[in-house]
Chains A and B, each alone.
Chain A
Amino acid sequence: MHQIQIKTPSDLLGTPNDVEAKNAPAQFYLQGDLELLKRGPRISVVGSRKASPEGLNRATVLARLLAQRNMIVVSGLAAGIDTAAHRAAIDAGGRTIAVIGTPLDEAYPPENAALQAQIAEKHLLVSQFASGTKTKPQHFPMRNRTMALLTDATVIVEAGESSGTLHQGWEALRLGRLLFLMESVANDQRLSWPKEMIHYGAQVLSRSNLENALADIPAVTSRGGTERDAFY
């Protein structure tokens, strides 16, 4: 079993700019393969807990595709879309990172405890909450903002008007990271948030542009700064 390690945002991202620093946690608790934070691109696949069968299928197909391309699938280990994304990445032989809203030694929902243990063992489990911290509702949107910070792009598969996933979408836009909305959710006339996010730069992910979109995701979170590349 991997030991828990504690890192700061600077350890993981290089010096954060002030936009990154604003909502960044003071430290991260990590368990698993830390090498996954040294390469990219890392893509969040996120959405509703109470997802539709179509939404779960879309999350599965996308996560599998990302894994096959050697991209790291990041999600929040919540029920629904998150679970589907993690499982599909693992089943495809890919790598995954779970950013959770509880301390590392607790699981929510409890039925994901085994999946969480598997991710801590073979992949990477991340939390900003120390062991013993009492979990509060606001910890989950905080987790979503942290996930936006740690990933190069976020894909929202499905989300209602009050979904916690929206916190991640807005944070990705604020950080200047790519935000994609699956075409099905972007075109859902019952929702107002997709239009607002598209106005501020969210991109619609469709079958026709998927190839282009995945081919050009700058790995900003693993930008590094080795002296070997110290050209300027």
Chain B
Amino acid sequence: MIDLLPFASTYVYSPRGESAESVRSRILRTRVKAGDVDWIERYATRVHELAVDHGVYPGYFGKQTVLVPVPGSSPLVPGGLWVPERLAQALESLGLAVAVWPAVRRTDTVPKSAFAAPGERPTAERHHETFEVEHTLAPPTRIVLVDDIVTKGRTLLAAATRLRESFPQADIRAFALVRTMGLVAEIEQILDPCVGEIRWQDDDAHRAP
């Protein structure tokens, strides 16, 4: 695994909190998971505003950036809904990138984390084994992996490692629209933009913030 992956995010989501804001964060998560066209466009517009008007995400978006959507936990059914790809398209259409490139593919299924017991959730290594990267003769100089929701960051780290193996010269980063706040009882504000990192340490991914 690569040691460090620069990572950025816009919203936070609480899986279990009971405050009004935590409950609202789950509505946001549901809208994103549903591939809701209207809401994804609105959320992408907010990302654009933060990036362009407020300079919140330096080095992530722009005319050098190619967005690579992160695969789900299983190979995609032909014609199936792929939310990170929808999100990447929405960001690209606002001018935050030069292209969307579905370069990483899932070759075999891994258990969905939500339904696996904590010790049985797929490891970063298992994600890595089940990813393959499309070849190109003209590798991008900056790749931003795009995911809808990040939890620990294992999937992102494994996908970034695969990309680094194929494109050692590229600047590789990750953007997740929403980050899960599993260890915090309640969240104070859904909109909570950040830049941080995902580190590989003690055989696991560690996300900060």
Spell out A's residues near B (CB within 8 Å). Answer: 14-17, 19-20, 22, 170, 173-176, 198-201, 203, 208-209, 212-213, 216, 218-221, 223-225, 229, 231-232
Contact = CB atoms under 8 A, between A and B. Distances in A.
Given A17-B37, A231-B190, A223 B79 contact: no
A201 B30 CA distance: 19
Contacts of A223: 27, 30-31, 34, 36, 39
Nearest to A215: B114
Nearest to B45: A232
B143 interface: no
B199 interface: no
Interface stretch (B56-64, B70-78, B92-100, B131-139): B70-78
Contacts, number: 100
Interface string B29-66: 11101111111001101100000000000000000000
A176 B38 contact: no
Contacts of B108: 199
Contact of B29 (A19, A173, A218): A218
Nearest to A13: B34
A176 B35 contact: yes
Contacts of A231: 24, 28, 190-191
Contacts of B109: 198-201
Contact of B77 (A17, A20, A173): A173
Contact of A213 (B27, B78, B115, B190): B115
B34 A15 contact: no
Interface centre among B35, B38, B112 (most CB of A within 10 A): B35
B24 A174 contact: no
B74 A216 contact: no
Given A218-B29, A232-B42, A232-B46, A201 B115 contact: no
B83 interface: yes
Give 3 closest A-B pairs by Cβ, nearest first: A201-B74, A176-B81, A220-B34
A220 B30 CA distance: 6
Contact of B27 (A14, A201, A229): A229
Candidate in B15, B24, B115 with the most chain A CB atoms within 10 angstroms: B115
A20 B39 CA distance: 15
Nearest to B79: A174
Contact of A218 (B34, B74, B77): B34
Nearest to B35: A17
A232 B39 contact: yes
Given A213-B115, A232-B42, A200 B34 contact: no
B38 A225 contact: yes
8 contacts: A15-B36, A176-B34, A176-B35, A199-B108, A200-B76, A216-B114, A223-B36, A225-B39
Contacts of A15: 36-38
Contact of B81 (A174, A200, A212): A174
B74 A200 contact: yes
Contacts of A173: 77, 80
Q: Choose among B39, B46, B83, B116 the residue with the greatest number of A CB atoms under 10 Å from its CB.
A: B39
A201 B36 contact: no
B74 A199 contact: yes
Nearest to B106: A201
A229 B34 contact: no
Contacts of B37: 15-17
B154 interface: no
B110 to A, nearest CB: 10
Q: Most chain-A Cβ atoms within 10 A of its Cβ — which of B42, B78, B108, B109?
A: B109
A208 B86 CA distance: 34
A10 to B, nearest CB: 11
A209 B120 CA distance: 12
A35 B36 CA distance: 21
Given A216-B115, A231-B24, A231-B191, A19 B38 contact: no
A218 B36 contact: no
